[in-house]
Structure 1
Amino acid sequence: MAEHGIRLGRVQETLLIPLYGRAVENRKEQPALRDTRAAEIVASIDYDFARFDNLPSLTGAVLRTSLFDRWVTDFLTTRPTGTVVEIGTGLNTRYERVDHAQARWFDLDLPDVIDLRRTFFADTPRRTMIAASVTDETWADGVTAQAGGPCFFVAEAVLPFLRETDVRHVVGLLADRFPGSLLALDTAGAAFIDAQDRHDAMSKVEARMQWTCDDPAELAEWRPGTQILASHTLSSLPPRMYDELPAAYQEMLSGLAAQRLPQAEAYRLNLLQLP
């Protein structure tokens, strides 16, 4: 029985889409990822999740999360005592899926989201929630005071909802305060941004993305020395990840690649090395 009501801002409400995607995925016999915690959270929230049933975007959200999980895992494999910062953490459970038992974690999001998150999670000696906007530089003080080793920033389904001036500010803040860090983020080109009113999931909520990025390579021009380590569409995932997906996913992605749909090609998952 649902126990917790939802009071979130328009953009913040979108966190429920990937949460539900992971819960639905968890029911499958051969999932792209397992997330029992997401299933438990969905079951306890009073919200009309049925509006997102049978949407292809749920699968896309799960694949995006899975790729970001892999990048964080690779980071922690080589830097087990490093720091992971989830920007716009929502109700993500990446810590539960990939934590290596030594890393320092920070979960950053707006106050209404953190209030909701505290219903399901608690701070620990290695894991801290921070209630702040990513554009507010004060949150970085708390991270720099406690962080150990290099940092990996994960901004999943967050930055496209900001204005470009704010995204530039955030990237500059990370580069200045945490030089040499890694940043995983998604970008949306004009073909994706312009189709939001017809998008299967975005059409079900009021929030709209604002930042248009047709070529992630332009991010390297914002800060000299920035490197684009990887950039993938959902139809061009890394071979190692593709080979490990269930056969049904491989078939679906092969079909998507053959179609080369403008909207699908305009949405990319990127890994940056900051200068």
Structure 2
Amino acid sequence: MPSTLRIPLAARAHGDALFPQVAIGDVHARAWLDAIGDDGQDWLDDRPSVYGVLARTRVFRERALDYLARHPAGQVVNLGCGLSHYFQWLDNGRCRMVEGDLEEVVAIRRQLPGGGPDGRRHRLAVLDIGQPGWWDRLGLAPDRQGAPVFLMCEGVLMYLPPATVRGILAEFGARAPAGSVFVFDALSGLASGNARLHASVRHTAAEFSWGPLRIAELTAPHGRLQLEAVHMVMEGYDPLYAVMGHSFRLFMGVPFYALYELHAQHAAGG
């Protein structure tokens, strides 16, 4: 199992007690961690990462719930879902959710208690987001005239080659109905090639490969893309992180780490 799956799972399983101010109340994480034979303790020493997972989970959840408040029967898509379970928080009795990941990850999910689909409105799909055509393979809106969809991608894009990320953003821009939302997290491009400096990721085989050096890079892949919001994550960890985060963004023009919210416009450039 990829070790990068264990880091956020351990945070969601044990992090509420460490950081009650950003608690998420994940009812599956502890059982899933036990099921894969990991007590999570190896990952908990990296307190900033534990906090970051909880804080970003709250942002992803809040943005998805905001979308569902406007589109109660809407479609939510989790690209590279890993061992997260957002349907526990998003199921309003009407929405539909599809979660996609590599075959290995989906196989693990199906073996976990409550890890499979919860019903006809919730499904798991084998998906390599790095391969073009993922929109159609997931059976999403066939044209731009459909209802808006909400896409999220958590802890994934920073590990992909830059050209692959540009292709993913371009496919969203080209295919998504107007009003669709894509929320994803990213490190600054300065982190690329430096996973050895990350307290948790350095213990895995993963490497950071992509991140924006300029905000304009996020909308450049397609003319319909509009940056709606930048959601900061780590500034609530402690005052030093707040100062460092503000200073980094001021001098570099992008946050060191943040969630970005892209919207699909009605027409290219409009």
Q: Does structure 1 residue 20 correspond to structure 2 residue 10?
A: yes
Q: TM-score, normalised by structure 1?
A: 0.82
The letter for the 2-side match of 1:254 is: P
Matches within 5 A, 1:102-251: 102-120=94-112, 121-123=115-117, 124-141=119-136, 142-144=138-140, 149-180=147-178, 181-235=180-234, 250=236
Match for residue 96 of structure 1 among 75, 88, 92: 88
* Counterpart residue number, 1:46: 37
Give the number of the structure with larger relative contact order, counting CA–CA contacts within 8 Å between residues 6 or more apart. Answer: 1
* Counterpart residue number, 1:3: none
Q: 1:95-128 deviations in whole A, cap 9, x for unaligned?
A: 1022222111001000000000111222320011
User: What is the CA–CA distance in structure 1 between the aligned matches of 2:244 and 2:130, rounded to whole Å?
Assistant: 37
User: What is the CA–CA distance in structure 2 between the aligned matches of 1:153 and 1:58, rounded to whole Å?
Assistant: 23
User: Quick check: 2:184–2:261 contact (8 Å CA) kept in 1?
Assistant: yes
Q: TM-score, normalised by structure 2?
A: 0.84
Match for residue 36 of structure 1 among 8, 22, 27: 27
SS in 2 for 1:84: strand
* Counterpart residue number, 1:267: 257
The letter for the 1-side match of 2:240 is: G
Q: Does structure 1 residue 78 correspond to structure 2 residue 63?
A: no
User: Quick check: 1:25–1:34 contact (8 Å CA) kept in 2?
Assistant: no
Bigger Cα displacement from structure 2, 69-78 vs 204-213: 204-213
The CA deviation at 1:193 is 2.8
* Counterpart residue number, 1:254: 239
SS in 2 for 1:46: coil
User: Quick check: 2:64–2:90 contact (8 Å CA) kept in 1?
Assistant: yes
User: Quick check: 2:33–2:39 contact (8 Å CA) kept in 1?
Assistant: no
* Counterpart residue number, 1:239: none
User: What is the CA–CA distance in structure 2 between the aligned matches of 1:102 and 1:265, rounded to whole Å?
Assistant: 36
Q: 1:101 to 1:217 in 2, by over 3 A?
A: farther
Two-structure CA RMSD over aligned residues (Å): 2.5
User: What is the CA–CA distance in structure 1 between the aligned matches of 2:197 and 2:37, rounded to whole Å?
Assistant: 26
User: Quick check: 1:192–1:267 contact (8 Å CA) kept in 2?
Assistant: no
Structure 1: unaligned runs, 5 residues or longer: 1-7, 237-249
User: Quick check: 1:188–1:268 contact (8 Å CA) kept in 2?
Assistant: yes
User: What is the CA–CA distance in structure 1 between the aligned matches of 2:185 and 2:58, rounded to whole Å?
Assistant: 13
Structure 2: unaligned runs, 5 residues or longer: 266-270
User: What is the CA–CA distance in structure 1 between the aligned matches of 2:39 and 2:59, rounded to whole Å?
Assistant: 28
Q: 1:215 to 1:138 in 2, by over 3 A?
A: closer
The CA deviation at 1:137 is 4.1
User: Quick check: 2:132–2:167 contact (8 Å CA) kept in 1?
Assistant: no
* Counterpart residue number, 2:268: none
User: What is the CA–CA distance in structure 2 between the aligned matches of 1:101 and 1:89, rounded to whole Å?
Assistant: 21
The letter for the 1-side match of 2:10 is: Y
User: Quick check: 1:81–1:149 contact (8 Å CA) kept in 2?
Assistant: no
